[in-house]
Structure 1
Amino acid sequence: MLKVAKHTALHLEMRDAYDPSHPAYRDFLSGGSGWYEMKNWRQIVQDAVGRGVTIRRVRVVSEPLSDYIRWEHMLTAQNVAAGEDVRWLPRERAWDLMLPGADFWLFDHKLVMFNFCAGDGTEIPEEKSSNDPAVVARCLTAFEQVWERAIPHEQYKLP
């Protein structure tokens, strides 16, 4: 969907782990660098930003951080270099926010796509989407409330 976004793409992430089988993550867990080039994603982001799309991503995270989030934090410089604006919000600072039950992307303030994972972080291929104005408005409000409290990537120091 990012390839067809015209103005904005907002991404709210609220899990402490995603794909536990990713080879670079497995490398990170075994003491390796865990580094990998996100070439395809960077190109998609750069193309969207080149079309004038603003991409904002905010992650609600538990502290102390999970291994997965520490790994993800290390890789986030690539997201930022590609043109994403990324922020982090410690979960304890989100306690009074009413957030959706799943991560989502919100495109052009018109379409929400929800992403689902199993308990271990494995992605469930089923996605749900909605262009219902009430659902879009609730997700936009949730995103903006988290964004307002969140810490820019460059300032978020690993606890």
Structure 2
Amino acid sequence: MPQNDVPDFTALLRSADRSAVHLEMRDSYMADSVFDAWQDGREVELPDAYRQWRTLVEETVARGVAVRRARIVSEPVTDYIRWEHSLTGRHNIAAGEDVRWLPRRLASDLMLPGNDLWLIDDERVLFHWFTGDGEWAGHEFSEDPTVVKTVVAAFEAVWARAVPHEEFAV
């Protein structure tokens, strides 16, 4: 589907009735000023985009939607993943997300999608594309039942093996 047929993400998440799950499979993503500050040992106030995200998740969870995030990571983890882990408790989990981590070495026998994604109500999938160095490259939306079924199975397999955030040490 062309990118112009991709729904607005905020509207997509607000349309969730039961569940919204996010699968992340990269060891680093695009440049981020908060990450840069963390690497320099500085604490900075989270930018508006982070606060807006947290508010969106809080609103979604308050409507009774289960929001889960699974991250597949290499070990030893990258600095970027170490930073994400340090931010997850006070940002994602505080907003109401349930987050788990799966070491890549434990995912070898799983059939995984080729891209990160959001799955809404086990009915709609928004795939995210990134360049090799982690920069945003686009996205694709699908409601194809075969694609959705594959994504549901992949996410649930990852979730079953993944370690809850509180127990995952980086």
TM-score, normalization by structure 1: 0.94
Provide the residue aligned with 1:155 in structure 2.
167
Alpha-carbon distance in 2 for matches of 1:102, 1:8: 19
Q: Distance in 2 between matches of 1:76 and 1:40?
A: 15
Q: Distance in 1 between matches of 2:45 and 2:157?
A: 32
2:21 to 10, 16, 19: 10
Which residue identity does 2:29 align to in structure 1?
Answer: Y
- Which 4+ runs in 1 deviate beyond 3 A? none
Task: Return the alpha-carbon distance in structure 2 between the equivalents of residues 53 and 151 of structure 1.
Answer: 21
Contact 1:116/1:123 (<8 A) preserved = yes
Distance in 2 (CA, whole Å) between partners of 1:56 and 1:23 is: 25
Matched, 1:69 2:106: no
Instruction: Provide the alpha-carbon RMSD of the alignment.
Output: 1.2
Match of 1:94 among 96, 104, 107: 107
> Identity over the aligned pairs, expressed in percent?
49
Is the CA contact (8 Å cut-off) linking 1:34 and 1:71 kept in structure 2?
A: no
1:135 paired residue among 134, 143, 147: 147
Deviations 1:85-135 (A, max 9, x none): 0000000000111101000000011100000111111111x2101101110
> Residue deviations 1:52-109, cap 9 Å, x none?
1100100000000011111110110110011100000000000111101000000011
Q: Are residue 82 (structure 1) and residue 82 (structure 2) matched?
A: no
> What is the TM-score when the length of structure 2 is the normalising length?
0.88
Q: 1:117 aligns with which of 118, 125, 130?
A: 130
Q: Cα–Cα, structure 1 residues 26 and 100, in superposed 2: closer, same or farther, change >3 Å? A: same
| Alpha-carbon distance, 1:34 to partner | 6.1
Deviations 1:35-62 (A, max 9, x none): 6363111110010011111001000000
In structure 2, how many angstroms separate the alpha carbons of the residues matched to 1:80 and 1:43?
A: 12
Partner of 2:30: 19
Alignment size in residue pairs: 156
Matched, 1:30 2:50: no
Relative to structure 1, the CA distance from residue 35 to residue 87 in structure 2 (aligned partners, 3 Å threshold; closer, same or farther) is: farther
Q: Do the aligned residues in 2 keep the contact of 1:98 with 1:142 (CA within 8 Å)?
A: yes
CA contact (8 A) 1:35 1:75 kept: no
